[in-house]
Structure 1
């Protein structure tokens, strides 16, 4: 076969080989290895230290054997921030790179400038930087649309917030960034004002583990002019939630998706819901002690949120059936995805899932993972009304048994993806019944130990993916 098939046909075959098997292709012959590497467009590499000249040369040679590489992720740690050999090797070897995720170590200004000159097509960068913050290098990446910055090291006395680049507005440029993600902002990070002043076209904003936003005046101006913002994520950033939500409630009408994890504010979130004029479609909250029924009732009463198609709640301990039922009635004609993950209201209030199922008959995705006291009767009664489900996640629901699997097969004829991993009441027989009798099922997440030979054969014949 090695001599019969042409290069183009072999490369097409390689593209269709699933990831677990593709790694063995390079072991067949030198030709196959060369063709595989020359057709690879995406790589994820872990390259630990030491970074001596020999290892860097090998790394660079390996990269040059992938001439069409457009996406690269490198991790390892331990590199020298002043002279980053790994990043310089990437810059020298990957001229066609579009996306780079480089979290090995804080990168130096010299390495970034070299990268901008060599990889002119870069549109997405995720890197680690150190203080003091400087962004002189950013305008050189003329194709950049997405930027993720992980800020490391502590503030020191040498980090002077009064440096000229912060105050000098003449250095402002028009950046074309559409996605901005920042992790680890501290109160003294005034150098970020350059970003706040120059990012006017942001559509997606992520703030993670942030205690502050640097310069308040610049940040408020940034928020007020975000007319294009569509997606906002606030993760473990309790100290800045108020200023972000209250400002956007007044100014932003384009917001489509909101995520808040591990640190919110009851009052500011409620005010945002009551006053916001945006037509929110996706809401994802993990607020164990900051979300209650008042928020859900306010959501149901704000007509601007009647277009909500996805609601995801995780570990929300203070929510009760009253709020969820009100929301279910209000969103009956539109909600397509519901997640109640590790929410004890599912176990605490009998009949709640039945009511939600009867109201939300257009649900396509349902996630009840990690409700370890959820029993068959409650799930079965809900699924009886959810005939349009294509995705169902029940991971970690220990009380469910094979009876629940029977209900899934009977009620969910359109089901394509299901997760029943770590459901200890569902055994090999239940998994086999699900695989054999679900005509549209394409992916099942379950422990390998629960797969019988019959289930494996049927899954293979139906081109079904088993994720263990």
Structure 2
């Protein structure tokens, strides 16, 4: 077989087959020829480095991947190896379009070299250190669409302030996605983004663990002028969330369709945004244990009755009555997530009424509601005949009885997650496999899969996911 197939045919086979990592390793061991052809046909590569410096053969290894367009590198060491890696990448991967380096921090000169050697780069995820004097190097990437920046180290405001006054570029950045992490007060180099990003192109804006935003005035002008922003994510950003939400509410062109806020909000600014914005939210994802109450839910039901996805995590301050009222308004809802919600643990019966008003739900997530029991769950699940995906992870109060109700009422289920459900046993897993004709993905502990269950899964092409 090895002599019959020419290089081009083998390359085409390797290029078309989405080989998992373990299969790729096996293929590379067949012969040197197969290893060379496999590398030359690989377009996406993820590497995890465990040593302090790249191996001397690392550039040669990268050069063998002539079709490489996406590269992700992580490291188990905290030493600074990123500059060496970037130098190797710049000289070996001219066709690269996506690069993610979770090692760091990087220096300016290797980044400038990267922009010259990899002109097709459209997505870049990197770590930079303080003091950060400039982001002008971004202008050197002509095709850059997605940027993810993480800042580390101590803040030196005296060094950073200078860029506050000179952050301008001759050509606007055509970024579609900006993701920032670790921004602190005094990181004024970030203003380069607010002053030089094309308002028309930006679609996604994300902040994580951020305490600053650069210059407030520059950012306010920027966010009020965004014409096509449709996705906003705020994770652990309590210090800046009021500024962002108030300015976004004043945006006359508000096209936001997806909003995510985790671990740090402000009740008043969130309520003001919900009341004043003219956007048409389609997806709302909130994890605000102490900052989300019934007033917000009533406003959501009043303002966003076309919402398609609602995800609430750890909602300690909301009541079952508010959720039932919300269910009456959101008749178009297709995804509902109530994860680790005290209202489920403390108010029995409301789930049944909620389910009766949400019959279009296709994705239901009730994970980590430890007091959810068979009787209440069975009563509500009978209303979800169109369900495609069900997540019950960590619902330790459910038993095999609940799975009988699932199989009876949800014949269209394609994916079920029942990891860490201590009350569900091997027999229940077998029952699900045999009685859900559309099931394709199952998440369950390996010890709960009998030999018979494994055979049935193989016959029905059901995949176990961790």
What TM-score, normalized by structure 1, do the two folds share? Answer: 0.94
Shift of 1:378: 1.3
Alignment correspondent of 1:282 = 283
- 8 Å contact kept, 1:56–1:89: no
Change (3 A) 1:430 1:290: same
Given candidates 171, 196, 207, the residue that maps to 2:194 is: 196
Q: 1:169 & 1:212 partners in 2: Cα distance? A: 17
Counterpart of 2:131?
A: 132
Q: 1:59 to 1:325 in 2, by over 3 A?
A: same
Q: What aligned pairs does 1:315-334 form with structure 2 within 5 A after superposition? A: 315-332=314-331, 334=332
Give the C-alpha shift of residue 352 in structure 1.
1.6
Query: Aligned partners of 1:5, 1:391: CA distance in 2, in Å?
Result: 43
Query: Structure 2 CA distance, aligned partners of 1:258 and 1:220?
Result: 18
TM-score for the superposition, normalised by structure 2: 0.95
Please name the residue that 2:334 is paired with.
Answer: 336
User: What is the SS of the residue equivalent to 1:137?
Assistant: helix
Aligned CA RMSD, in angstroms, stands at 1.7
- TM-aligned CA deviation for residue 25 of structure 1: 1.9
Unaligned runs of 5+ in 2: none
Report the equivalent of 1:26: 28
Alpha-carbon distance in structure 2 between the residues aligned to 1:238 and 1:10: 54
State the distance in 2 between where 1:18 and 1:466 align. Answer: 15
Work out which of the residue numbers 416, 421, 435 in structure 1 matches 2:414.
416
Question: Hey, what's the Cα distance between the residues in 1 that align with 2:170 and 2:12?
Answer: 47
Cα shift at 1:370: 0.5
Superposition map of 1:72-221 within 5 A: 72-76=71-75, 77-80=77-80, 84-133=83-132, 134-156=134-156, 158-161=158-161, 163=162, 165-168=163-166, 171-199=169-197, 200=199, 201-221=201-221
Q: CA–CA distance in 1 between the matches of 2:410 and 2:160?
A: 61
Confirm or deny: 8 A CA contact 1:238 1:264 kept in the other structure. yes
Q: Deviations over 1:153-195 (max 9, x none)?
A: 011365240x2x4313654531000100011111111121111
Tell me which moved more, 309-318 or 59-68. 59-68
The C-alpha deviation readout for 1:395-444, integer Å capped at 9, x for no partner, is: 00011111111111111111101100110111111111111221111100
Offset, 1:130: 1.2
Q: Hey, what does 1:399 align to over in structure 2? A: 397
Shift of the alpha carbon at 1:6? 4.6
The residue number in structure 2 matching 1:379 is 377
1:307 Cα deviation (Å)?
1.4
CA distance in 2, matches of 1:253, 1:354: 36
Answer whether contact 1:49 1:78 (CA < 8 A) is retained.
Answer: no
| Cα 1:108/1:5, change in 2 over 3 Å | same
Deviates more, 1:170-179 or 1:132-141: 170-179
Residue 347 of structure 1: CA displacement?
2.0
SS across alignment from 2:233: strand
Q: Deviations over 1:287-341 (max 9, x none)?
A: 0100011100111112xx1210000001111111111111100011x10000000
Cα distance in 2 for partners of 1:343, 1:213 equals 32
CA distance in structure 1 between the partners assigned to 2:388 and 2:236 by the alignment? 32
1:448 has 2:446 as partner: yes
CA distance in 2, matches of 1:3, 1:403: 57
SS at match of 1:105: coil
Determine if contact 1:79/1:85 at 8 Å carries over to the other structure. no
Residues 348 and 78 (structure 1), Cα distance of their counterparts in 2 relative to 1, 3 Å cut: closer
- Aligned counterparts of 1:272 and 1:98: Cα–Cα separation in 2: 37
Q: Which residue number corresponds to residue 50 of structure 2?
A: 48
In structure 2, the partner of 1:36 is 38
Distance 1:312 1:404 in 2: 23
Residue aligning to 2:237: 237
Question: Are residues 79 and 306 of structure 1, via their aligned partners in 2, closer, same or farther at CA, if it must alter by over 3 Å?
Answer: same
Cα distance in structure 2, aligned partners of 1:453 and 1:342: 33
Q: Contact between 1:396 and 1:422, CA under 8 Å: does it hold in 2?
A: yes
* Alpha-carbon distance between aligned partners in 1 of 2:168 and 2:83, rounded to the nearest angstrom: 31
Stretch of structure 1 that moved more, 228-237 or 128-137: 128-137
**Contact 1:336–1:365 at 8 Å: present in 2 too?**
yes
Distance 1:418 1:140 in 2: 46
**Residues 209 and 235 in structure 1, CA contact (< 8 A), matched pair in contact too:** yes
Greater shift in the superposed pair: 13-22 or 378-387: 13-22
Tell me what 1:253 maps to.
254
User: Residues 359-389 of structure 1, C-alpha deviation per residue, up to 9 Å, x if partnerless?
Assistant: 0000000000011111111111111010111
Partner of 2:240, secondary structure, is helix
Deviations for 1:188-210, whole angstroms, at most 9, x for unmatched residues?
A: 11121111111123110001111
Match of 1:460 in 2: 458
- Please list every run of 5 or more consecutive structure 1 residues that lacks an aligned counterpart in the other structure: none
| Distance 1:441-1:8 versus aligned 2 partners, 3 A rule | farther
Distance between the aligned counterparts of 2:435 and 2:100, measured in 1?
42
Quickly say closer, same or farther: Cα 1:317–1:169, change in 2 above 3 A: closer
Name the residue aligned to 1:69.
68
Contact 2:160 2:189 in 1 (8 A): no
How many residue pairs were aligned?
A: 459
